[in-house]
Amino acid sequence: MTPRLVTPADAVESLRRKVHQKWAAAVCADLGVGEPVTFSVPLRPGVSSGSAVARIGYPAWHEWRMRWREFADRSPAGVLVVRKPLPVQGVTDEYPATLVAGLDAAVALVSGTGPPPVDAGRARALVSSLRSAGAVLTPATVRAAYQLGADDTEVLLNAVTWLSRNPDAGAWTARQLPVPGMHTKWLDTHGALLRDVAGRDVRDEVRSRPAVLHLTYVDPGHVASGRRRHDAWTTGDTHDVAYRARIVLVVENRDSRLWFPPVRDTIVVEGGGYAAAALLANVPWIRAADHVVYWGDIDADGYAILDRFRAALAEPAPDGAAPRTVASILMDATDLHHYAERGVNHDKAGRPIKPSRLTLPHLTEAEATAYDTIATAGPTPFRRIEQEAIPLATAATRLEAACANERPQDGPLSRRAAGHFRPAR
């Protein structure tokens, strides 16, 4: 090891990093959870002999000693400079070797040079409250809980207490849980933390909602009959769709569903974004269609949704229905270039659209080329072409052509050869 002398300033910064990394373990240990934690920094690594001091140089050694003498005179209570013997120029004496401090002393010391890594008092109070509520305490859960605001912390404690008193949450949906202060979407954001702190995942216990699909009938004969065009289908209900769909087209934009042009034996379904795979994959009449087709935005999300939907239908359904392939329209490299003038780089809030590094193994080569172009971390003309930018008449024509050229139950390759895959850069 190369001999090195650590200055007080460098030691304090090293101590700051250690406190940031291990304060949660220290707080848990203070309350009897886990092994005690002491923060320490070696002050002269590699310097264990007079020859090492000589290599460093006596003037530098003397200046270093003086700095540590001054530090010891003004350091907070509880901060200890451990000294160990060392022979220098034939005389053995004790010199600074290690800086040692408990959590409170370490926080007090580093607070003199910047904001403290943690409010130890608040952290201890939080851990004490969690323990009283019956929480599972680990450094990771304590650190995550500490990041919450006051309101969310109170909800977390209420939720842990409620779960300890209610071993079965199956009588409620996730948005009906009678936990004081918990709003209907709290679990969407904090469900994983509650799982880790409570030791059980209430999201798996609550009553699940039936899938509700919004759809539009676009078969010309049905439209001409004057019967209902827009419908909803709910999992487990007794009604059925108006006619057997030869083609099911899944779209993302509501306007695209509501105003899609007539196409024989076709039903247009609103996909619901990333929920499409879970909502649609096990719907019997969708799996029974001759052709299942997806049309989404030309952007990173659109391709990720297509990839997930295609993967979900590639598996057998719980009722035994066979795997299905999923085609796409208006989402390949040719479409990207054809509609390039409609490309944008910012979302609806004016924020730049970010690249994506997701690997999407269920895209065709043509889709993957388009995905790589818009999702790359490097320069690209645009990152999104919204579905609404493409005329619905064009979509209808492409849908009919795609299904005419595809045998029922067939579809594009669901997985590209591994050697041809290029992750976004």
How large is the average pLDDT for residues 114-127?
A: 94
Residue 71 to residue 417: CA distance in whole angstroms: 64
How large is the average pLDDT for residues 11-25?
A: 96
Q: Which residues of 311-350 are buried (b: 16+ CB within 10 A; e: fewer)?
A: bbbbeebeeebeebbbbbbbbbbebbeebeeebeeeeeee
Query: Is residue 114 classed as helix, strand or coil in its secondary structure?
Result: coil
DSSP letter, residue 133: T
Residues composing the chain: 425
Residue 224 to residue 229: CA distance in whole angstroms: 10
Amino acid at 358: L
Q: What is the pLDDT of residue 348?
A: 87
Residue 216 to residue 396: CA distance in whole angstroms: 14
What would the two tokens of residue 211 be?
A: 């899938």
Q: Mean pLDDT over all residues of the chain?
A: 91
Residue 54 confidence (pLDDT) above 70 = yes
DSSP letter, residue 26: H
pLDDT digits (tens, 9 = 90+) for 127-151: 999 999 999 999 999 999 999 999 9
Give the ranges where 276-326 is alpha helix by DSSP (H): 276-280, 284-287, 300-313
CA nearest to 85, candidates 77, 97, 93: 93
Task: Give backbone dihedrals phi and psi of 156, rounded to 5 degrees, phi first.
Answer: -60, -45
Residue 319 confidence (pLDDT) above 90 = no
Residue 413 confidence (pLDDT) above 80 = no
pLDDT digits (tens, 9 = 90+) for 339-389: 999 999 999 889 999 999 999 999 999 999 999 999 999 999 999 999 999
How large is the average pLDDT for residues 91-106?
A: 95
Percent of the chain residues topping a pLDDT of 70? 95
Percent of the chain residues topping a pLDDT of 90? 77
pLDDT band at 416 (very low <50, low <70, confident <90, very high): very low
Classify burial at 408, counting beta carbons within 10 Å of its beta carbon; exposed 0-12, middle 13-18, buried 19 or more: exposed
Residue 311 confidence (pLDDT) above 90 = yes
Residue 41 confidence (pLDDT) above 50 = yes
Q: What is the pLDDT of residue 281?
A: 87
pTM: 0.60
pLDDT digits (tens, 9 = 90+) for 203-257: 889 987 777 899 999 999 999 999 999 999 888 787 889 999 999 999 999 999 9
